[in-house]
A and B are shown apart, each in its own frame.
Chain A
Amino acid sequence: MMDKSIRVDDSAKNIHAELRHLADSISQIIKGIRVAQEPIADSRNKVPQATEQLERVTQQTATATHRVLDMVEAITSREGEIETQMKELRRVLPSTYFRNNSRVKRIVERICVSASANQNDAYAIMDALQFQDITSQQVDHAISLLEQVENRLKDVMVGLQLDVGPENDVKRKERAYDPNANFSSNSSEQSEVDELLNNLTKEKQNN
């Protein structure tokens, strides 16, 4: 009888110790959550700042690109004008000026070649400006990933019953991007596409 009572007493002590240990653990977890609350909330609050910054990058790059396009259009227009003027010069000057290897002929030809080279280079600049569309898609992809992180952090805060703060009423911009958008001037990509298109066309014809 006495043995039994000692055993019960020991068990109660053990349970008490276990409960105390559990209470300590919970207390530590709560402390941990309190410590984590601030960085989680801080991280969540910083995501909109980061997306805003990225959007500014896109906007400023677009503005700068359009300025460059303005210049390129002005250059190509002037180069076209030079070509027209050179033709006019050939028309109004006596034909003797352009005889065989005359100095005037060589100068006019050189001006025409330079004007044409300038125009081609200006067009090459314009073609390269396609980077703006491609990088803005890459930025949009990064923003979407950040927004996913923001939402997950919010879920964590809700799960931990932390204060998520006021909801942001700003309507999020609808983003349309290719997550694999890549600025590569490698023509092999188009060749591969062309090969696939040819095969698809052949298949269609055979069916």
Chain B
Amino acid sequence: MASLKILAVDDSPTMRRIIVNTLKRAGYDDVTEASDGKDALAKMKVEQFNFVITDWNMPEMDGLTFVSQIRSLDEFKDLPILMVTTRSVKDDIIEAMKAGVNNYIVKPFTPETLGEKIGQVLKSVGRS
């Protein structure tokens, strides 16, 4: 758990702060923040992360484009990605899964859900 280096991508500073706090509470201390997909890609070029939590609706580059872009790169094809968004329409969820997210959380989320989903994603990629 302690070795997990997480990149939290959300355009809302409030939401980023809540996610970082929730992750810390769950024992994940190493969290870097990015304000949109473009910012996240720039950070991924200089730092290595082994888990990404991303929002969908963001300016500059939205979460879906961001996920599609990182999945198109060999080095990130197995990177665990959890989408945390307000979008709860069935077609959106299907689209996100097709783009390559490993799991999906609808905002507002509970700390329990976030913890469970991180666990499920890590298990699904054989890192638990």
A182 to B58, CA, bound (A): 17
Q: A130-B18, A174-B59, A176-B59 are in contact. Are A190 and B106 (CB under 8 A)?
A: yes
Residues of A within 8 A of B14 (CB): 62, 65-66, 69, 129-130, 132-133
A136 to B87, CA, bound (A): 15
Residues of A within 8 A of B56 (CB): 178
Chain A min CB distance to B120 (Å)? 9
- In the complex the two chains form, is B17's CB within 8 Å of A127's CB? no
**Is the C-beta of A200 less than 8 angstroms from some C-beta in chain B?**
yes
Residues of B within 8 A of A129 (CB): 14, 18
A176 to B86, CA, bound (A): 12
A51 to B89, CA, bound (A): 28
Interface residues on A, range: 35 or more
Render A72-100 as a binary contact track against B, CB cut-off 8 A, 1 for contact: 01000000000000000000000000000
A92 to B85, CA, bound (A): 48
- In the complex the two chains form, is A176's CB within 8 Å of B58's CB? yes
Residues of B within 8 A of A62 (CB): 13-14
A196 to B105, CA, bound (A): 12
Chain A min CB distance to B31 (Å)? 15
A135 to B113, CA, bound (A): 21
Chain A min CB distance to B22 (Å)? 8
Residues of B within 8 A of A193 (CB): 88, 93, 104-106
The binding surface of chain A is classed by DSSP as: helix
Residues of A within 8 A of B10 (CB): 133
Q: A66-B17, A174-B59 are in contact. Are A133 and B85 (CB under 8 A)?
A: no
Residues 22 to 81 of chain B near chain A (Cβ within 8 Å): 22, 25, 56-60, 62
Q: Count A/B pairs, Cβ under 8 Å.
A: 93
**Is the C-beta of A102 less than 8 angstroms from some C-beta in chain B?**
no
Q: Which residue of the partner chain, among B15, B59, B111, B113, contacts A175 with CB atoms under 8 Å?
A: B59
**Is the C-beta of A134 less than 8 angstroms from some C-beta in chain B?**
yes
A182 to B106, CA, bound (A): 10
- In the complex the two chains form, is A73's CB within 8 Å of B106's CB? no
A137 to B25, CA, bound (A): 27
Q: A178-B87, A180-B89, A197-B97 are in contact. Are A66 and B111 (CB under 8 A)?
A: no
**Is the C-beta of B107 less than 8 angstroms from some C-beta in chain A?**
yes
Q: List 22 A-B contacts (CB under 8 A).
A: A62-B13, A65-B14, A69-B18, A123-B25, A126-B21, A127-B18, A127-B22, A130-B109, A133-B12, A175-B59, A176-B62, A177-B57, A178-B56, A178-B57, A178-B85, A180-B86, A184-B108, A187-B110, A190-B109, A192-B88, A193-B88, A193-B93
A residues near B (Cβ < 8 Å) are 62, 65-66, 69, 73, 123, 126-134, 136-137, 174-178, 180-185, 187, 189-190, 192-193, 196-197, 200
